[in-house]
Amino acid sequence: MKGVPGTAASLTLAIAFVMSLLLTSACAVEPKNRPADRMVNLGFEDVVNSDPLYLTGLAERLDSVDATAVSLAVGRTDWTAFPLQGQTETESSEVARTGRDYVAESISALEFAEDGRKRDVVLTIDALLDRALTAEPALAGRDTSGAASSTFASVSSLRHGKAGSRLASLAAVIAGRYRPTAVNLTELMFDDFTFGEEDLIDFKATTGAKDWPRKNDGSIDASDASISGWRSEAMADIVLKVRTAVEPYGVKLDMDVRAPRESPSLDRADSGHDYDLLLKQADRLHVWEYVGLNSESSPQTKELAEAMNRRAGSRISLSVGLWGNDGRISAGELATALRDAVLGGATSVSVTPASLMEGQHWDVLKEAWAR
């Protein structure tokens, strides 16, 4: 090469040309994957917060991570985050003391990003009860020994009675008053408290059975498939009732559901969460992927995302919970869950709750979601 005229210049031009191609190619590469729908969930403690700068700080955080949606806890039918005219007995102590509409304040602060883009607003109702069960003990569910729950309403009171009517009524109120993108139901599940006398009547009417299924020793077999099927049918009826309440306002209905215990392709019919039945009534299901509380046999996040994506695509979202046995999961654990959700094809992911987010968690979320 030495002594050949123009070789150095030609080599320089060739290198420059190759570098130009590489740079052009790099610019054309698609940005790294992220879910299309990215939501941060605010718990009641986030919405009803006395710090006047709290919502301002959260708005800045949502901007920094490029969240497309925000979920706001509005309370329970007997403990609301906003005033209800003529129903002061349902207001939380903070609302009763201040008269403030914390839901409206949160929407005002968080609905729009700094650049003017509108976020989806999801208003979440907690289906558990407290004061209502103290005032009306007959609404409470009972376990196989007959003991009453302090938080769960019975199947019959939700399906046919006051607990379900009040749930639908509250959903209609917040749908009409705030016009959110969706109303979401959380903690609406059947655990151990579905064995009262009224529930037995409903079980018989639904299944045609003459009694609860029983073990050889005569005790109720709570794991029998007929109970799971009955719970799931009842749950679908309850969700339909709420959907009917919000539909006139053009508002969608979402629902939180438990994740499968072992196989990612299954559901939690034992809790009333038959995904396929619920998807006939709800617009979207948010599957609890609480990685810090999962057992060793729980499906891995990637496997769960793949299975949910196959089942219903974007109509099933993964809700990554920050709770852990030591209080909260680490930022590293959150990063792994977010990465695995994307690798599994999840197009909708939420992180919950905002109150457990520390600076390092927000940094991880920004890395995963912001562009």
pLDDT of the residue at 23: 40
Helices 225-246 and 197-207, axial angle in degrees (round to 10): 90
Q: What counts of helices (H) and strands (E) characterise the chain?
A: 14, 13
Give the type of residue at 252. K
Nearest-angstrom CA–CA distance, 240 and 106: 28
Nearest-angstrom CA–CA distance, 209 and 347: 42
pLDDT of the residue at 28: 35
pLDDT of the residue at 325: 87
**304's tokens:** 């769960």
The per-residue pLDDT for range 256-273, each reduced to its tens digit, is 999 999 999 999 999 999
> Rounded to two decimals, what is the model's pTM?
0.90
The per-residue pLDDT for range 42-65, each reduced to its tens digit, is 999 999 999 999 999 999 999 999
The per-residue pLDDT for range 303-344, each reduced to its tens digit, is 999 999 999 999 999 999 999 988 999 999 999 999 999 999
10-32: average pLDDT: 43
pLDDT of the residue at 296: 85
3-class SS of residue 32: coil
Q: Which of 31-35, 212-216, 248-252, 366-370 has the lowest mean pLDDT?
A: 31-35
Closest CA to 153 of 201, 205, 191, 202: 191
Helices 54-65 and 359-369, axial angle in degrees (round to 10): 30
The per-residue pLDDT for range 180-200, each reduced to its tens digit, is 999 999 999 998 999 999 999
- Residue 21: partners with Cβ closer than 8 Å, 6 or more residues away: none
3-class SS of residue 182: strand
pLDDT of the residue at 157: 98
Three-state SS string across 209-253, please? CCCCCECCCCCECCCCHHHHHHHHHHHHHHHHHHHHHHHHHCCEE
Q: Is the pLDDT of residue 22 over 50?
A: no
Nearest-angstrom CA–CA distance, 362 and 368: 10
The per-residue pLDDT for range 271-293, each reduced to its tens digit, is 999 999 999 999 999 999 999 99
Burial of 140 (0-12, 13-18, 19+ CB in 10 A): buried
The per-residue pLDDT for range 219-247, each reduced to its tens digit, is 999 999 999 999 999 999 999 999 999 99
Query: Both ends of the chain: CA-CA distance in Å?
Result: 47
pLDDT of the residue at 94: 97
Q: Is the pLDDT of residue 30 over 70?
A: no
Residues 331 and 361: beta-carbon distance below 8 Å: yes
349-369: average pLDDT: 98
pLDDT of the residue at 32: 67
β-bridge partners, 214: 220
Nearest-angstrom CA–CA distance, 72 and 106: 8
89-108: average pLDDT: 97
User: Cβ atoms within 10 A of the Cβ of 153, count?
Assistant: 29
The per-residue pLDDT for range 109-156, each reduced to its tens digit, is 999 999 999 999 999 999 999 999 999 999 999 999 999 999 999 999
3-class SS of residue 134: helix
